[in-house]
């Protein structure tokens, strides 16, 4: 009977999970779901391997609403459905590995201390990544846990592409540098590219991870050379509620002239900007594309234009582009955004197959014409599978 891999992706108000079995060459998902609305009104939902909903529950009103109780609830639910099989390893998505962690790590007291030391670099994410490790250490003390880092894939960037033009010691002593995020997604794309397009896998590929959080990366032979996110997940492309690239002087202006404090600025840049801020009513691309509002149109055009600008910049950094890959929520599902980006990149040699682009599919597919100088693909990402692979490899 096969062993199981549990994958945990914890945020400030939600915990996502996936349970994989290991009987095949690659882990196969059994269940996936989440606990959302933590600290307000927690709700638990889950689906099976066929994407059928098998749980949709609101927690009792008198139950604790924290991460600890949510994990216990989820684990009890899973254990009632795994027929006596055992969990062999637990893999955790950890947002920040700093300069210390460039590969998955087996959890030890020293690793937990290392993660806690990185909290200043990701105060909104790292504490919530650490909490499940501690809780599951208590609930499943004999099950090894593995940390899988969103920054690790980007450690192959040349130093030149990791630096800011600040005094050099800020990078060396304070860790103020361009880290990049969404690395687990990019690593998954790099792992499947050889099966889809050998030229893209071995050559120059720009990957656009477009969703509520968006970034792009330039890969050379499957290794990251440059990415749009930097010191934090605010940089680069505009996102659902995050501003993306911004003149640092704007932040000084907000402080000095509008008298906003750090917390107000943080809320503005992380939660009130991006598509929501530009449109004035929604962070969801589907809402914006279905709206007649001029500001919604402005937000949509701004987003696509930013993707185009970053794509050209990334291509310049790796000496050209053999392939462009769209992935994540918007990248996989929004034909309009893909069309707008590809049409604006025609000068680079992108020729979109509009019929192929309009097809909805959960499978990887080419959406450029056969004679397009740059091959364009839609490849669904799978960060959870990447974590399961890394966790298994780590304990092996």
Residues annotated as part of the active site: 150
Phi, then psi, of 383 in degrees rounded to 5: -65, -35
Record the tokens describing residue 296, joined without a space. 């919604």
| Residues paired with residue 88 on neighbouring β-strands, in sequence order | none
Give the number of other CB atoms < 10 A from CB of residue 344: 17
Task: Report how far apart, in Å, the C-alpha atoms of 77 and of each of 115, 120, 342 are.
Answer: 29, 34, 45
Asked whether 4 and 21 are in contact (CB, 8 A), the reply is yes
What's the half-sphere exposure (Cβ side, CA atoms, 13 Å) at 374?
A: 24
End-to-end CA distance of the chain: 18
CB neighbour class for 315 (10 Å; exposed up to 12, middle 13-18, buried from 19): buried
Q: How far is CA 245 from CA 94, 209, 241, 282, 301, in A?
A: 23, 16, 13, 20, 16
Angle at 355 between CA 353 and CA 357, to 5 degrees: 70
Determine the length of the chain: 396
Distance CA 273, CA 285 (A): 14
DSSP state, residue 59 = P
Whether the Cβ atoms of residue 179 and residue 156 lie closer than 8 Å to each other? no
The answer to whether the beta carbons of residues 186 and 153 sit under 8 Å apart is yes
Query: What sign does the dihedral 185-187-189-195 (CA atoms) show?
Result: negative
Q: Which residue has the tokens 């079995």?
A: 21
């Amino acid at each position: 009977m096969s062993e199981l891999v549990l994958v945990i992706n914890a945020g400030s108000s939600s915990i996502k999970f996936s349970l994989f079995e290991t009987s095949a060459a690659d882990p196969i998902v059994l269940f996936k779901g989440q606990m959302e609305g933590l600290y307000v009104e927690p709700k638990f939902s889950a689906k099976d391997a066929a994407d059928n909903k098998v749980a949709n529950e609101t927690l009792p009103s008198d139950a604790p609403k924290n991460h600890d109780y949510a994990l216990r609830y989820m684990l009890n639910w899973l254990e009632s459905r795994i027929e006596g099989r055992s969990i062999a390893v637990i893999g955790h998505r950890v947002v920040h590995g700093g300069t210390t962690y460039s590969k998955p790590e087996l959890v030890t007291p020293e690793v937990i201390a290392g993660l806690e030391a990185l909290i200043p670099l990701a105060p909104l994410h790292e504490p919530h990544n650490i909490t499940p490790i501690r809780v599951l250490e208590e609930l499943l003390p004999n099950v090894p846990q593995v940390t899988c880092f969103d920054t690790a894939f980007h450690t192959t960037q040349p130093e030149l592409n990791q630096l800011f033009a600040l005094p050099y010691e800020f990078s060396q002593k304070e860790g103020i540098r361009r880290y990049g995020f969404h690395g687990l997604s990019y690593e998954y794309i790099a792992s499947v590219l050889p099966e889809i397009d050998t030229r893209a896998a071995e050559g120059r590929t720009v990957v656009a991870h477009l969703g509520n959080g968006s970034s792009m990366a330039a890969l050379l032979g499957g290794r990251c050379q440059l990415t749009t996110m930097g010191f934090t997940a605010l940089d680069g492309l505009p996102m659902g509620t995050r501003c993306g690239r911004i003149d640092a002087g704007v932040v000084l202006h907000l402080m000095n002239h509008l008298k906003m404090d750090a917390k107000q600025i943080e809320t503005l840049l992380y939660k009130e900007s991006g598509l929501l801020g530009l449109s004035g009513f929604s962070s969801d691309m589907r809402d914006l594309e279905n709206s007649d509002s001029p500001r919604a149109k402005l937000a949509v055009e701004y987003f696509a234009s930013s993707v185009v600008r970053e794509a050209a910049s990334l291509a310049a950094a790796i000496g050209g582009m053999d392939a462009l890959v769209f992935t994540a929520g918007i990248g996989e599902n929004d034909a309009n955004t893909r069309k707008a980006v590809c049409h604006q990149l025609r000068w680079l040699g992108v020729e979109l197959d509009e019929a192929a682009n309009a097809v909805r599919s959960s499978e990887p597919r080419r959406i450029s014409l056969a004679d397009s100088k740059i091959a364009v693909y839609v490849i669904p990402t799978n960060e959870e599978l990447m974590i399961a692979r890394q966790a298994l490899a780590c304990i092996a």
